[in-house]
Each structure stands twice: as structure tokens, then as C-alpha cells.
Structure 1
Amino acid sequence: MTSFLIRGRPRRATAHIRVRVAHALLGVVTGTVWLVLPLMTVGVPDPVPTARAGTTTRSAPPRPEGTSTADLVLPLLAGVAAVALAGYGRLRRARRARTRTTPGTVPARPSAPSPEDAERQARAALRLTDDCVRTSREELAFVRERFGTGRTERFERALRAAGTESAAAFAIWRRYEQGSPRDAGARRQALAGVIGRCAEAGRRLDAEAEALDRLRGFGERGPDPAGLEAAERRFRELTARVVAARETLAELRARYPASASESVAGYAEQAGDRLLFATARLNGARQAVDAGDTDRAVCRLRAGEGAVAQAGVLVGGVERLAARLAEAAMLVPDALAAAEREATAARQGGAGRAPAERVLAAAREEWTAGTGDPLDLLRRITRTVEPVPGAEAGPGALERAALLVARCSVEGAEEYVAVHRAAVGTAARARLAEAVRELGAGHAGRADAVAGEARELAGLDVRAHGTPYADAEGDTAGLAGAVLGGILLAEDADAGPPASYGGPRTRSRHRA
């Protein structure tokens, strides 16, 4: 209420001043009339003639019919003043009626957003912040390769702080989704905390964006030639790795069931698509540098770097899965034997583990026949028999198996969200952030389950989003994947500027 009274004083003061001015003008007019009236009657003969000495005064002659001008002045002015004051009062009443929201009351402060509006704001803030952190991490990898860790420490520090704020915001949001806290006021505060932490994360990145551009030479002289060469060098390395990734996928399909490599199906093709886009953008950056077109050179370089980074994520996903499957295949016999011992001991102790024994028997049969997916077998084994720390130093086989499965699930979900970020919503990102927390806390089973939920939700988002941009030849080749991956921000008709290191205020600053 106090804030309203303070804001309302100037309006009331202005109204009082207007009334005083009107009264003062009326007084001036009235006084002027009284002063001028004698002058207006100087030329009029006396109504009563002066009597001469020695003569008897005669009766005054009758007044002429009608009224003199002087006699009309005062009544006329009084009438005009009355009409003016009445009109002014009516105008003030009409103005108060228009500005008053409720008869007799005025709201003291703007109404708070509804819970639905606050939730929408929180979702949007989480998604935007997560994109900013991911993009900043990608660009900083190129800068670190060019200048070393010594000159990039300030940017690394800002990125770590932003990542911490983002993780905390996701943790608050996840608890909110699960119904905690329950009090309506506390829930509003939780949403405010989510939005505030996201804002702080963006502020930390925004504060360093200009300094990063200076380090990279994104000013009048354009991109650092060495930086462009570094992007081109990584591009050439990835071109060879894409070919190897296709061969690796063929080997995985021949060795394991199709379900084993399903999570990276199409990754080699998508990596090639990103590199096709990078080809056009890096060539364009080189041409713009030669022509002295600084803005265009920076814009094209950043788009090319983003495409190269995502091609690396896609190829790396295939290579990572192949390594995890090989590791899982080596671990299955030990994990299976450990689980069977646990189940037998439990049955002998009267715990009744017959269902577990049946699951383990089926897993051994698949493994012996060579038809099982090693990671899926480990998942089923560890979910059947809860892994416990081994008696000897270090984790036992079951614990190692559970950790391997969880890591693989979290890594796969991270890769998928990274290269489809423009389509992935808040729910999938929140599950992924929770999976990362659970993995860090050592809760392997929970991390695996939640990461699976994140991947499933992200896949639904991508299928619902589709690819609205049609691929073409030349400069627009690979455009659909670039937009879907968030390499280009779809803000303009030409798919928007490239995403860059920074928060919401600066991430789209490079425009040709």
C-alpha cells in the first residue's frame, strides 16, 4: 500500500495545483473588473444634477429606459465563473472515474502471476539456461584448444558457476514436480527460486561474452586465422571418424542383437549431415575473411564450429557405445556368477528367491547362446539382485555392473539431448539433470532408470517437433539438422544467428 501512496502523490498534487490556479485566475478577473468599472462610467452624466446656489432643487428627471453596459458586467462575469467552475468539477469527476479500477479502491501493487504462468516462466527459463550452458561449453572447447587453459580460466570459472546455478534450478524444479513443497506460498517461492537461479546463470555467462570475443579477435580485424584453422582441422579429423563410425555400427549389428545399438542408430548419418553444413559455413567464413567482411566471417565461423562440435558428439556416441558393450561383455560372466551366488544364499536362508533365480537362468541361457545384449543383461541382473559392496577392497562385480549400466544410460541421454536441443523440452532435461545427480551420489540403479525416462521423453519431443526446414544444396545443406541441434537459433527467416558463448542476452549477438 505504501508504494501506491508514494506513486499517487504527484497526481493528487497536480490536481490541487490546477484548482488553485483556477481560483487565482477567477480572483484576478474579478479584481480587474472592479478596477476597470469606474473608468467605464467616466463619460456617463451624473444621474442627479448638481443644485445651484440660491435655487431650489428640482426633482430628478426620470432614468432612461433600459440598462447601461456597466450594470451588465458583474452579473455576466459571475455567470461565466459559475459555469467554468461547474465544468471543471465535472471534468475532474469524469477523470477520476476513468482511472479508478474499483469504486473507492485502487490496487496497491500489480497482481502476482498465476501458478500456471509462473510454471511456464520457470520451464522456459530452465530450457533457455540449459541451452546457454551447453552452447558455451561447446565454444569454449575451441577457445581452450586455441589459447590454452591459462587464458581461458575466467571463462571456465563463469561456465562452472552457471552450470552450478542451472543444476540447482533443475533440482528445485524436480522437487516441485514431485509435489514438494506442498504449501502454496512455498511453491511460489520455489518457482521464484528456479527463475532467479536461471537468471544468475545467464548473468554470469553474459558478463564474460564480450571478453571472450576480444580474446578471439571478433572485433574490427575479424576471427583469428588460427581459430579458423583449428575448426578446419577438427573438421577433417571428424570426416575420417564418420567413416569409421559407419563401420563400427555395422560390426555392432553383426555381433549383438539390434537392440544393443538402437540408441545410436542414425548417428553416423546425422554426423555426416552436420559436417555437410560445417563445410558450407567454414568455407563461407574463409571467403568472408578474405573479403574483409568481419561480421559475416564471425557468424559463419561460429555456425561451423557448432556443427563440428555436434558431429563430434554423434561420432563419439557410436565409439562410446562400442566401448561400453565390449566392457559389459567382459563383465557379464562375473556379474552373473555373483548374482547366482546371492540368489542361492538367499534361498537357503529361507528368503524365497525363486523368481530371481528364474530371471538369472534366462539371462545365462541368452548369454551362452550369444543372443543377449550385454548391457541389457547387466541391467536385468543388477535389478534382480541388488548390488552390494564386495567383501574385498573395491566394488564387487554387481556394483561395477550397475555403475557401468548407469553411466552408459546417462551418457546416451546427454548425447541425444545435446544434438536435438531445439526440440527437447523441460521434462526430459529435468530427468536428465536428476540422473546426473543420482549418478554423482552413487545411486546407480536410480540414475539408470531416470536417464532412461529422460531419453524416452526427449525422443517423444523430437518426433513431435519434426524437421520443418527442408534440406537443399549448397549453402542450405544440413540446415534442418543445424536448427534441430540448436546450432542456429531459429529467430529469423534464414534460421537465425549462430548460438554462441553467453547467456540469454548475448548468445545470439553474432549476426551477418
Structure 2
Amino acid sequence: MPTSNNPLRRVAWFVLGLALAAAVAAPGATAEQPTRMDTYVTDSAGALDRAGAERVRAAVDTLYAAHKVRLWVAYVGDFAGDSPQDWAAQTARQSGFGDRDLLLAVATRDRAYAFDGELPSGVSESEVDRILTDRVEPALRDDRWADAGVAAAEGIDSAMSGGGVSTGPVLLIGALIVLVSAGLLLYQRYRRRARDRAELAQARETDPTDPAALAALPLEALHTRSREVLVELDNAVRTSAEELELAAGEFGGTAVLPFRAALENARAATAKAFAIRQQLDDAVPETPDEQRTLLIDLITTAGHADRELDARVAEFDAMRDLLIDAGPRLDALTRDIVDLTGRIPASEAELTRLAGAHPASVLAPISDNVTMAGERIAFADGCVGDGRREIARPVGEQGGAVADIRAAEGAIGQARTLLDAVDGAAAHIQQARDGLPAVLDELRGDLGAAGELTEHGGPELETAVAAARTALESAGTTSEADPLGVYHDAVAADGALDRALAAAGDRKVAAEDLTRRLDRVFADAATRVRMAGDFIATRRGAVDATPRTRLSEAQRHLDEAQRLRTEDPAAALDHARTAADLGGRALQEAQAGVQTWEVRRPPPGTAQTGAILGGILIDSMLRGGTGGGFGGGRGRRGGYRAASFGGSGGSRRVSRGGRF
């Protein structure tokens, strides 16, 4: 009952309450027991006039016609002392209501109501609560009995039709949920990145040769660290190999045997580590425990190899003390610079000629080689000038010349490789052009044989035939513009078709036929592996672990193909094909990495940037240094220093002294 603070109103309500109590106690006011309902709208309390009863029946009929839901409405004086819910439940049982019946019972004297029944499909409890709270109850409080029944029927109808819920609040709540969820997601991502950085920092400080310590690290940190150590070790091996060849030319093969043994051990360890990374990257998933075992094996293998190289640094530096004859070395480097500079115009002309004869995609691996070679030559020239200034210093202060000589040697070696790749490109293309007719003839012959085995070939032969026809069509239109690509596709299609024919016809390929195929596939694979190797070697400062892994696996398969050429040509052929595919993938992934590096590291085209890209200068903080700016000839240039023989830690030797 409504209340008020007005004293007169409280008295009025009190009198009204007494009157109602008297009415209830009167002999004529009988209790309304639950009973079976025979019509959809009953009014034993006399709450409805004729028009009101017709309105409620019409609303109930409309609900049934639209959704086949039966709403029963009962107006009674009271609920006979029962709770509204009990009275409605008993009435529903006695009336035999099913899962499509709803009951709205209203006790006009008790001023109570009940709503009972199974919720129709598509109507939620919250929607029913809103219908009763917002529409039915206000009508009952105002004694608008007919409006209450109509509101119940129309509310259910609207909810089942999709209009029972106000979209405004829902959209607002939805937007708030989205905002909160986005905020939580960003916060969680920030926390996760901070945690990942901390775990990676811990992994970098962990001894890479200690399996127990590595086992305590999180799996993701091991994955990231494994890729880092692969790049570090591969760079160290490549730089050590370049330094070792220079030393062998100066001191002879016997003098460098201990260092060559350490280098070969490191190469073998690197190949093993890359093979493990390839296994982790392939399409066959490993369990977390298997991943952890493989990652620990990878990191410890790389760690031991790295330390074996570092253990030889002091001995190597002592053998190749560049300060003893620094002057003649710088003179020799100057002659090399002059020689390479003289090659630039011819290489530029050759590259221009190739660009006019072949599409850009064919020349992409060497398109910027001449420019990069010029950058390496300019860098080497600057290092030679710095080296001459260093050796002019007093004895004991000339140590910076060592880094200058090493950096110049590395840059000159890479410049020579870059120009050789341009000058040799025509030979590779011509080799493919000369070999293409024989491959195409053999492909046509195999297609003829395939026509006789169509019924026995199955999907493998059908796929191989389609690939062979595509290769032939491509050869007819693009062989002049892209002989390397057409040659590779034709060789691959020929090999696949040959395997399918052998399976379909149950025949063996003649030994000489297989050998001929193997020679072509092997030559193709060797070219692709060499191109990828040259590209990565001269741009290793921007190449991550993935293309290096592909290249290492390509080289392994190529070596295995060479080993098996005589004893098992069929197996050798499979290894050569795999090497060709992996070599191509390595080149593509390395090119993508260099493009990303160039975008993120402006400005390009400078001598020092080229040296960093080539791995000639490395971040001193990554090699155990303490940074330092360019100048003073101490071997560091803007936080970078020249790479040298040894592991990723680099040489720990220092040079100090002077007069006092």
C-alpha cells in the first residue's frame, strides 16, 4: 500500500484499511480456491467491464495467433490464504496446463498477482521481469485491471517478435563491455610483453652450455633465444671462415689447422642446430616437452661451438698480429680497392644489359649488388685511411689499426662476392638456356608415355601431367625472359612426372636416364643454394634465423645428394630437389628480411650502413663490448665494431700503453 508523511492521509488510509478488513471478515466475502480454468479470461472478482474483458480476450487471441502461446488470465478476490505462486501453480495443475500455457492471476482484494508457466522460446527471464515490472505492475497499482492483462499479452508477443528489449541500454552496456574488454586485453598484452622481455633477458644471461639452467626457462623464451643464438653462431662461423681464408693465404694451410678444426666443428654444430630448428618449424607438431628437449639440445650445441671458437681467439690473434706489417697490409688493401673500383663500370654495364633482357624478378637477388659493392668499397677505403692514421700514432697506441684492417678486409671480400655474382649471372642464365631444350624434349616424351598409363596413374599422375603441361606452356612464353625460372620449373615437373610414371607403370628408370636427370637437378640446386648463400653472406646483418635455417638445410641436402650420387642416384635426386626448394625459400625469406631491415633503418646507401648490413660492423653490446663512439681508432664505430675470428663473444684482447 502507498504511504505518505501527511497525517490526514495516514488517517484516511487507516480508515480504509479497517473498511477492507471488515469487508474481508464479512460473511459474503468467500475465499477463492484454486480451480480448473475453462476459458482464457475469467473474472470472478468483477474487475472487468464488458469492454475491458473484450480487450483482454483480443490481446490473448492475438498472442496465440502469432506464436501459438496460450495466456490464461484470472481475476479473483483473493488467493485463499495461499501465496500467489502456490495458488497459480495449483490452478495450472488442475487446469492441465502444458509447456505452451502461461497464467496471469490477479487477486484484486489481496492486491497480489502471480505469473506462472514455461517461458516461451526466445523470451528470457530478464525480459519477463521487465514486462511485469514496467508494464503489468503499474497498471495493477492504478486498478487498471484490463490494462494489466493486455500488457502481459502484448509484452510476451513483443518479446517473442524481437521487440521486447530496449536496444539503447543493451547497446550501451555492450559498448561498455567492449571498452572494458579492450582495456583488459591491452593491459594483459602489456603485462605479457613485459614478462616476455624479462624472461628473454634471463635467457640471455643463462649459460648456454648448462642444460639444467636452460630447463628452468619458459618455453617461449627458449624459442626466442634459440633463434638468436642461431644468428649469432652463424655470423661467427661466417666471419671466422673469411678470416681463416685470409690467414691461410698468409701463413699456409699447416699453420691454420687448429683453427680450421675448430671452425669445422662449429660448422657441424651449426648445421645440427639449424636442423633442430627446421624440425621445430616444420608441419609436424611436437609436444611442449618434446619442444623443450629439442630447444635445450639446440642451444647447448650452439653454445659449445661458440665457446670452442672463442677459445682460439687469443691464439689466432697472436698468429695474425696485424700490427707487425700493418703498412704493407694497408697497401695491399688499397690495391684491392683500386682493382674492385675498376670493375664497377663493367659490372654496371652487365647489370644494365641483363635488366634489358630479363624481368626484374629474375635479377632481384643481384639488382642492387653493384650499388652495395660500391658502398663496401667506400667503407673499406675509409677504414684504410683510418688505419694509416692509427699506425702513425706512438707505439702502444696503434691498436685501433687492427679493427680497421679487419673491417676493410671483410668489406673488400664482400664487394668481390657481390661483383662476381653479377658477372657470373649471365653464365648461370646461359647454362639454364642451353639445358632447357633437352629438358623440354624429355618432358614431352614423358607426357606421351603418360597418355598410355592414364587409367593406372591415379591422382599422382594426373597432377604431374598438369604440372608438366604448365611448364611446357610457360617455356613457350617466358623462356627467353626468365630461363632460370623456366628451367627450374621444367626440371621439377619432369622429376615429378617421372616418379608418377614409374609408380603407374611399375617400371624402373634406366640408370643413365636417372643420372642425366640428377645432373640437371643437382646443377639447379647448387645454383640456387649458392645464390642464397651469397645473398645472406653479404647481407647477414639483416637476416634472421629463419632463412639461415632454410639455407643450412638446403646445403645439408645438397651435400647428401653429392654423397649419394653414385651409390643411390634415386635418393640423391630427392635430396637435390629438396635442396633446390629450400635454397629458393631461403633466398625469398632473406630478401624479405633485408627489405624490412632497410625500411626500419634509414638512411640507406651510406658506407657505414652497408657495413652494418653486411655484418662487417656488429653491435658491440651484442659481442661483449661496452659501446663507444666513432673515433680514436679503437675499432668501434657509433656503438659498432668490426667482426673478427671467434665466437659471438668476440675477442677479449685489449691494447693499452703510452709514455709517462
Q: TM-score, normalised by structure 1?
A: 0.71
1:469 positional shift: 5.7
Partner of 1:454: 586
Partner of 2:613: 484
Task: Give the match's secondary structure for 1:506.
Answer: coil
Q: Aligned partners of 1:427, 1:344: CA distance in 2, in Å?
A: 41
2:361 paired residue among 253, 259, 282: 259
Question: Contact 1:136 / 1:502 at 8 angstroms: preserved in 2?
Answer: yes
Following superposition, the deviation at residue 335 of structure 1 comes to 1.1
1:410-439 CA distance string (max 9 Å, x none): 111111211221221111211111111222
- Aligned identity (percent) is 28
* 1:275 partner amino acid: I
Q: Residues 499 and 507 of structure 1 are in contact (CA less than 8 Å); yes or no, is this contact kept in structure 2? A: no
Question: 1:508 offset after TM fit, Å?
Answer: 7.4
| CA displacement 1:282-306 (0-9 Å, x = unmatched) | 1221232233442111121111111
Aligned to 2:641, what secondary structure does the other structure show?
A: coil
User: Which has the larger Rg?
Assistant: 2
Q: CA deviation at 1:217?
A: 1.6
Secondary structure, counterpart of 1:489 in structure 2? strand
- Write the distance in 2 (CA, Å) between the matches of 1:510 and 1:318: 40
C-alpha displacement at 1:495, in angstroms? Answer: 3.8
Q: Cα distance, 1:378 vs. partner?
A: 1.0
Report the counterpart of residue 335 of structure 2 in structure 1: 233
Greater Cα offset, 135-144 or 239-248? 239-248
Which of 420, 423, 426 is residue 316 of structure 1 equivalent to? 420
Compared CA separation, residues 179 and 395, structure 1 to 2 (3 A):
closer
Task: Read off the aligned partner of 1:289 and give its amino acid letter.
Answer: I
Query: What residue in structure 2 maps to residue 430 of structure 1?
Result: 549
Structure 1 distance, partners of 2:654, 2:492, is: 49
Tell me if the contact between 1:299 and 1:511 (Cα under 8 Å) persists in the aligned partners.
no
**Structure 2 contact 525–558 (Cα < 8 Å) conserved:** yes
Q: Per the alignment, do residues 390 and 408 of structure 1 end up closer, same or farther by CA in structure 2, a change over 3 Å counting? A: farther
> 2:290 aligned to 158, 183, 186, which one?
186
SS of residue in 2 equivalent to 1:497: strand
Distance 1:502 1:345 in 2: 57
Note closer, same or farther for the CA distance 1:462–1:258 as it changes in structure 2 (3 Å cut).
closer
SS in 1 for 2:411: helix
Match of 1:127 among 213, 219, 231: 231
Give distance in 1, aligned partners of 2:510 and 2:418.
39
1:500 counterpart residue number: 644
2:279 corresponds to which of 175, 182, 189: 175
SS state at 1:486 partner: coil
Structure 1 pair 158/243, CA: closer, same or farther in 2 (3 Å)? farther
One-letter identity of the residue aligned with 1:413: A
- 1:5 aligned partner: none
Q: Distance in 2 between matches of 1:223 and 1:495?
A: 28
Q: Is the 8 A contact 1:335 1:397 kept in 2?
A: no
Which of the residues 430, 438, 463 maps onto 2:595?
463
CA contact 2:326–2:391 (8 Å) conserved in 1: no
In the alignment, is the contact (CA less than 8 A) between 1:146 and 1:230 conserved in 2? no
Amino acid at match of 2:535: Y
- Aligned pairs for 1:210-289 (under 5 A) are 210-218=314-322, 221-222=323-324, 224-289=326-391
Aligned to 2:81: none
Cα distance, 1:510–1:381 mapped onto 2, change above 3 Å: farther
Shift, 1:361, TM fit = 3.6
Looking at structure 1, the residues matched to 482 and 270 of structure 2 have their Cα atoms a distance apart, in angstroms, of 35
Matched, 1:362 2:491: no
Query: Within 5 A, what are the aligned runs for 1:5-16?
Result: none
Residues 11-40 of structure 1, C-alpha deviations (whole Å, 9 max, x = no match): xxxxxxxxxxxxxxxxxxxxxxxxxxxxxx
**What are the Cα deviations for residues 376-396 of structure 1, in whole angstroms up to 9, with x where unaligned?**
111121222217697364855
Residue 329 in 1 paired to residue 457 in 2? no
Query: Does 2:257 match 1:153?
Result: yes
Write out per-residue CA displacement over residues 288-328 of structure 1, whole angstroms, 9 at most, x where no aligned residue. 22334421111211111111111122112213322211111
Matches of 2:649 and 2:229, distance apart in 1: 13
Q: CA distance change for structure 1 residues 364 and 195 in 2, over 3 Å: closer, same or farther?
A: closer
Alignment CA distance shift 1:364-1:489 (3 Å): closer
Deviation string 1:42-93 (CA, Å, 9 cap, x unpaired) is xxxxxxxxxxxxxxxxxxxxxxxxxxxxxxxxxxxxxxxxxxxxxxxxxxxx
The alignment yields a C-alpha RMSD, in angstroms, of 2.7
Quick one: which amino acid aligns to residue 362 of structure 1? Answer: E
CA contact (8 A) 2:439 2:494 kept: no
Aligned residues: 396
Kept after mapping to 1: 8 A contact 2:383/2:404? yes
- Indicate the residue corresponding to 1:137 in structure 2: 241
- 1:506 CA displacement: 2.1
SS of corresponding position for 1:263: coil
Give 1:354 deviation, angstroms.
5.2
Given that 1:146 and 1:226 are in contact with CA atoms closer than 8 Å, whether structure 2 keeps it comes out as no
- The residue type equivalent to 1:276 in the other structure is A
1:118 pairs with 2:262: no
Task: Indicate the larger mover: 157-166 or 135-144.
Answer: 135-144
Corresponding position of 1:380: 489
Q: Which amino acid aligns with 1:429?
A: R
In 1, are the aligned partners of 2:472 and 2:490 still within 8 Å (CA)? no
Contact 1:209 1:501 in 2 (8 A): yes
Matched, 1:417 2:549: no
CA distance in 2, matches of 1:469, 1:365: 43
Higher strand share: 2
Letter in 2 for 1:165: A
Structure 2: gaps spanning 5 or more residues: 1-211, 499-507, 562-574, 621-626, 630-637
Whether 1:338 aligns to 2:438 is no
> Where does the alignment leave 5 or more consecutive residues of structure 1 unmatched?
1-108
Structure 2 residue 307 is the aligned partner of structure 1 residue 163: no
Report the CA distance between 1:191 and its aligned residue. 0.9
1:172–1:437 CA distance, 2 compared to 1 (3 A): same
What is residue 295 of structure 1 aligned with on the other side?
399
Partner Cα distance (2:511, 2:283) in 1 = 41
Deviations 1:112-168 (A, max 9, x none): 111011112211111110110011111222222222212122211111111111111
Change (3 A) 1:485 1:508: farther
Normalising by the residue count of structure 2, what TM-score does the alignment of the two structures yield?
0.56
Q: CA deviation at 1:471?
A: 6.8
- The answer (yes or no) to whether the contact 2:384–2:408 under 8 Å persists in 1 is yes
Query: Which stretch shifts more, 224-233 or 315-324?
Result: 224-233
Would the alpha carbon gap of residues 222 and 269 (structure 1) be closer, same or farther in structure 2, given more than 3 Å must change? Answer: same
Secondary structure of the equivalent of 2:543? coil
